[in-house]
Amino acid sequence: MSLKNLQDVFGFEEFKTGQQQVIEKVVQGKSACAIFPTGSGKSLCYQLPALQLQGITLVVSPLLSLMKDQLDFLLSHNISAARLDSSLEREEYNKVLERAKSNHLKILMISVERFKNERFRGQLQRMNVSLMVIDEAHCISEWGHNFRPDYLKLPQYQREFKIPQVLLLTATATQQVVVDMQAKFAIDKDDVVITGFYRENLFLQMQPTPSKNRPHALFAALAKNPDLPSIVYVTLQKTAYEVAEFLKNKGINAHHYHAGMKTDERELIQNQFMQGQINCIVATIAFGMGIDKKDVRCVIHYDLPKSIENYSQEIGRSGRDGKRSLCQILANSDGITVQENFVYGDTPDFKGIQLLLEQIQNSQEPFWETKIITLSNELNIKVLPLKTLLVYLEMRGIIKPKFTYFEEYSFKNCDTDAIINRFQAERRDFIAAIFHNSIKKKLWTYVDIQAIMENYSTDRARIIVALEYFEQQGLLELQAKQSVERFDIVTHNYDAKEVAKELFNVFLKKEQTEVQRIHNMVALFESDACLSKELAHYFGEELNFEKCGHCSHCLTGQANFESENKLTKIETHDFEQLTAEFIHAIGDAFSANNLVKYLCGISTPIFRKYKIRALPYFAYLEKYPYALVKTWVLSHLSLKAHPTSDC
């Protein structure tokens, strides 16, 4: 692709480092991998060649929200692009599919979960896809941060749908992750383009601050230039709200942002920040991925990041215009325990894994159906680890995803007789059966699919197709609820206990890796060397200087993240007093793991059922390391010989 294409279509005067190299590989028909720092123009590596390729460029993301800015950018340059997600009205969804199948789209954006949708998979077979782009491609590696189990199946999808090329995009990948990505997609080493991680305009400042002083230190940093765009990262949703309110009261134009907010509210805040109506966003890691605001002057970590990779991504959102920007850490090692607890909270109990395997094994049908939220509560496994577990079972050849359907359908009350009268003969009888076997309430009519099938010789698929047709024609407003996932059972022939042990050990190994990742991060921050150089070295880039001259180590020396809060010895606490109400409340669902999580303030699905968070000693030991609390709990349980003390 020539410089003229770049100027005529996108209005850019020249390519950024690495872009032209990657684009030429894609246009030549090669699969490639682009590892560029955040804000270095990875998206252009597929946007420009997409205009030349014959078919569609399919862009896969871990979250569709990451694609919003990219899609807006493409549409503003008159490039035929669209996205498929659950927020689309059915009519719009169908229009996007038709444009894709008729080759009237150049770029189609989907989340990785869309591949599990049976209807979409059928439509994809009828599309001419030239290139599959995988955004945040490091998610495919179990050795990387933010591993997403559904990403493991992307190489299989490439083969299944006969997509000739892939392009992997990421900003953060260690050498181990790069090798893993290459192997999974058979990408030649010469087709991996890494432009480096060092950015000379970022001032990396380590200023670990005691918790009580942190709000005022944050205000002092922002008050120097209160009107400049800034992002403050925190760990907890409640902290985002509290810090934003503190800054507002100090006259800073700030707003909180986290994943617990409604989608439209988050989009509004993001848009206001992009347009300069809000100067400061106080956010959890839910904010920032996919946005392209070039003039962010300051990124402050009020709490510790999750990992070196997360830190690199988050500071990469500042100074994309090449101007000097501040990247400051105020957190101290008090945050280590909080970050570790997030990791421990995602490790499922062995008992829950075994119950899942037994449930599948005992199914009398050749398939197995489940509602993820219901199953999460039954097994006491959080939703994300549960989805990971299901992918592991798929990869071990135990189950295979079939499709997802909705258990409940309803439509807003309307003139159903008028719809019936539009049809004749058998079709009229069939449609009458649908409406006559539905249950009318005040505002909505609920479709009783089982009753329709019992009273009229038909199947579920025909009923759903009819309802969807009525909505497409504007005859009624349809609503679908209660998503059910169906899996084919590939084999019943396995030892549930032995497989559960294997999988439990996989989760334990991942747990250890993630905890070590946190400690590696703190070690880097405390390093007695140039921080810019150490950060680049972590990602395999060797810089030819000893000091950058613009990090806190080069200017003021080594940082110390040691906590100033000295905890009393855990043995001084009264075990009986802290645990009696929990043991009574949870009853037969007791396990040592649940007790440790209760004391450390880590919620699990079963805690909602028994209202455990309302008990007086929930999170009482949240400042103590999880491993220490676990050892203390097990020592007391062994003395009591509790029958369910297995961890």
DSSP states of 256-291: EE-TTS-HHHHHHHHHHHHTTS-SEEEE-TTSSTT-
Span 351-372, pLDDT tens digits: 999 999 999 999 999 999 998 8
At the topology level, CATH places domain 202-331 in Rossmann fold (3.40.50)
pLDDT confidence band for 567 (50 / 70 / 90): confident
Measure the CA–CA gap between 78 and 86, rounded to whole angstroms: 24
Span 437-455, pLDDT tens digits: 988 888 888 888 888 988 8
CATH architecture of 3-194: 3-Layer(aba) Sandwich (3.40)
Rounded (10°) CA dihedral 236, 238, 244, 249 = -140
- Higher model confidence: residue 288 or residue 333? 333
- DSSP3 helix / strand / coil % (the chain, rounded to 5): 50, 15, 35
Give me the phi and psi of 280, to 5 degrees please: -130, 130
- Higher model confidence: residue 639 or residue 454? 454
Question: 645 pLDDT exceeds 50?
Answer: no
Q: What is 376-388 written as a DSSP string?
A: HHHHT--HHHHHH
Contacts by 199-202, CB closer than 8 A, 24 or more apart = 199/37, 199/316, 199/319, 200/532, 200/548, 200/550, 201/319, 201/322, 201/323, 201/324, 201/325, 202/315, 202/318, 202/319, 202/325, 202/327, 202/532, 202/550
pLDDT confidence band for 644 (50 / 70 / 90): very low
- Higher model confidence: residue 191 or residue 94? 191
pLDDT confidence band for 332 (50 / 70 / 90): confident
Residue that is written with structure tokens 């957190």 in the block:
331
**Domain range annotation of the chain:** 3-194, 202-331, 350-489, 570-640
How is residue 267 written in tokens?
């989009």
Identify whether the C-beta of residue 576 lies closer than 8 Å to the C-beta of residue 642.
no
pLDDT at 297: 96
Span 470-517, pLDDT tens digits: 887 888 888 877 778 889 999 999 999 999 999 999 999 989 988 999
pLDDT at 183: 93
- Higher model confidence: residue 464 or residue 184? 184
The total of other beta-carbon atoms located within 10 Å of residue 188's CB is: 12
Give me the phi and psi of 165, to 5 degrees please: -135, 155
3-state secondary structure of 6: helix
pLDDT at 617: 96
Residue that is written with structure tokens 């698929």 in the block:
461
pLDDT confidence band for 61 (50 / 70 / 90): confident
pLDDT at 420: 93
Q: In what order do the strands lie in the sheet with 280-283?
A: 202-206, 325-329, 298-301, 230-233, 280-283, 254-257
Lowest mean pLDDT among 110-114, 206-210, 353-357, 573-577: 110-114
Span 570-621, pLDDT tens digits: 999 999 999 999 999 999 889 898 999 999 999 899 998 899 999 999 999 9
DSSP letter at 84 equals -
Give me the phi and psi of 35, to 5 degrees please: -115, 95
- For range 404-420, the mean pLDDT: 85
Q: What is the mean pLDDT of the chain?
A: 89
How is residue 229 written in tokens?
């765009």
Length of the chain: 647
CA separation (Å) from 305 to 74, 183, 555?
A: 32, 29, 23
Longest dimension (CA), the chain: 86
Q: In what order do the strands lie in the sheet with 438-440?
A: 367-370, 478-489, 399-412, 444-447, 438-440
pLDDT confidence band for 459 (50 / 70 / 90): confident
Share of the chain above pLDDT 90, in %: 57
Question: 562 pLDDT exceeds 50?
Answer: yes
- For range 183-212, the mean pLDDT: 93
All residues at 6 or more sequence positions from 244 whose CB lies less than 8 Å from its CB, including other chains: 254, 255, 256, 280, 282
The total of other beta-carbon atoms located within 10 Å of residue 191's CB is: 19
- Among 39-48, 308-317, 511-520, 571-580, name the most confident range: 571-580
All residues at 6 or more sequence positions from 134 whose CB lies less than 8 Å from its CB, including other chains: 60, 140, 151, 154, 166, 167, 168, 169
pLDDT at 38: 74
Q: Residue 250 is which amino acid? A: K
pLDDT at 66: 62
* Beta-carbon-side half-sphere exposure of residue 198 (alpha carbons within 13 Å): 19
pLDDT at 31: 96
- For range 384-393, the mean pLDDT: 91
Question: 262 pLDDT exceeds 70?
Answer: yes
pTM of the model: 0.79
Question: 641 pLDDT exceeds 70?
Answer: no
